[in-house]
Amino acid sequence: MNFEHITLGQRVLFGTGKAAEHVAKEVARHEARRVMCISSEFERSLADKALASIDVVLWHSDVVQHVPVETAEKARKAAADGDIDLIVCVGGGSTTGLAKAVALTSGIPIVAVPTTYAGSEATNVWGLTEGATKTTGVDDKVLPAAVIYDAELTVGLPVALSVASGLNALAHCVDSLWAPKADPINQALAAEGVRALADGLPRIAGNPEGLEGRETALYGAYLAAVAFASAGSGLHHKICHVLGGTFNMPHAETHATVLPYVLAFNGPAAPDAAARLAGALRSGMGAASASGSRTDAAEEAVELLNELRSRLNAPVSLRDHGFTEADIPEAVRRIVKAAPASNPAAVAEESVTALLHAALEGQVPAVRALATT
Ligand code: NAD
């Protein structure tokens, strides 16, 4: 083995029903006097719960998906005017993203209380959108100092959104297996993340109010994000980044829809990753899901992922989320430019066009239809 791995420094407090206690503990640890809460209007009731034991000098609710620069500027000004010394963000990835935009230019520390499975809280990646272009970057200033996971805050997340968000987390894991900086440590985290998500998500779909499925999914989402932050963006993330930033498509649903097509495309060229993924999916979904007849790892992984997605009633078509045939050429141009040189399968205009067509129509993802190797 020969690799260089960086582990990001962050405190994780996991405890169902303990968000308020843990937030108070972190505010005390930071000796914060002027706390700003970032949380959308919709997430405000969750923030009220999580911040019940502390004083908040500024509530900021102007949250917009993909963090437009104007939204970031408003929040930065509010933080500066309020002389803020700690940000507590309560909400999904959009809310965490806005907190990161403030931290990027001010250095104000963040305590993140995530309420979806997006995973932004465990990465040092920021994103900002200007016009039709989303820019991302890496800066340790935006890594939340602490993350507080409380499954109770996620029980209100509707099943469809839980599924899409959970598959977004699964995509972090899958892409980490072949991303530019994949290594044995982040691959191990990714595999355990897959197992946990494949176990937790069907339990959420079956019993949305059950806390065990929610806890398992949060645990998996955290591992997924840590693996992703370490391994970097693979082809899947590059595709979704273009679809989100240029075509304003919803983040979680786009990831959930595109993932099996990228797996079908890359799997045959990455047999070890496919075998590991198949094993983790099998383990999470239960032995009954094992596909006895398959000998090809990529085919088995795609088949298991299809089965999981069907159990979850996952989103199937990009068309359902606003993408059209006419968008494909522009998307392909941007994706081919952004694709990592180290991607296991060769990325060319023709193959990306085929992948997007299949995802647009919601064709059953299959290795034979997409793989070029
Ligand atoms: P989101 O934050 O936009 O939330 C989706 C919807 O769910 C919103 O309407 C929100 O108010 C609602 N919601 C959130 N928590 C809820 C709860 N517990 N109950 C009910 N409703 C709830 O979507 P997301 O998928 O969480 O995040 C997407 C954004 O995060 C994108 O902009 C993406 O780029 C970013 N992201 C960044 C990273 C990173 O590392 N920087 C990683 C993942 C995602």
First to last CA, the chain: 27
Q: Whose CA is nearest to atom 8 of ligand 1?
A: 92
Phi, psi angle pair for 149, to nearest 5°: -100, 125
Residue 246 Cβ contacting ligand 1 at under 6 Å: no
319 phi and psi, to 5 degrees?
Answer: -60, -35
* Length of the chain (residues): 373
Which residue's CA is the closest to the ligand 1 atom numbered 30?
93
Centroid of ligand 1 to alpha carbon of 91 (angstroms): 7
230 touches ligand 1 (CB under 6 Å): no
Q: State the distance from the centre of ligand 1 to the C-alpha of 45, rounded, in angstroms.
A: 16
Q: Is the pLDDT of residue 292 over 70?
A: no
What are 90's strand-pairing partners? 113
Domain 11-154 grouped into CATH 3.40.50.1970? yes
Looking at the chain, the domain(s) classified CATH 3.40.50.1970 span: 11-154
CATH tag, 159-370: 1.20.1090.10
Q: Is the CB of 213 under 6 A from ligand 1?
A: no
> Cβ(98) to ligand 1 under 6 A?
no
pLDDT value of residue 371: 76
Pull the structure tokens for residue 45.
């009731």
Torsions phi, psi of 191, nearest 5?
A: -65, -40
pLDDT in tens, 299-336: 999 999 999 999 999 999 999 999 999 999 999 999 99
DSSP letter (8 states) at residue 53: T
pLDDT over 90 for what percent of the chain?
91
Distance of CA 129 to the CA centre of its chain: 17
Q: Is 160 in the pocket of ligand 1 (CB under 6 A)?
A: no
Going by the DSSP 8-state scheme, the letter that residue 68 receives in this structure is B
316 alpha carbon – ligand 1 mean position (Å): 20
pLDDT digits (tens, 9 = 90+) for 11-34: 999 999 999 999 999 999 999 999
Q: Is 92 in the pocket of ligand 1 (CB under 6 A)?
A: yes
- pTM for the predicted model, two decimal places: 0.95
pLDDT at 225 over 80: yes
User: At CA 161, angle to CA 9 and CA 39, rounded to 5?
Assistant: 55
**Contacts with 71 (C-beta within 8 Å, 6 or more apart), sequence order:** 62, 63, 64, 98, 101
> DSSP secondary structure string, 336-369?
HHHS-TT-SSPP-HHHHHHHHHHHHHTPPP-HHH
What confidence tens digit (pLDDT) does each residue in 237-284 have?
A: 999 999 988 898 999 999 999 999 999 999 999 999 999 999 999 999
Ligand 1 nearest atom to the CA of residue 43, by list position: 11
**C-alpha 110 – ligand 1 centre gap (Å):** 17
Average pLDDT for 146-175? 98
> pLDDT: is 36 or 294 the higher one?
36
Ranges in the chain annotated CATH 1.20.1090.10: 159-370
- Give the chain's mean pLDDT: 95
Residue 43: closest CA among 61, 18, 20, 22: 61
Whether the pLDDT of residue 138 is over 70: the answer is yes
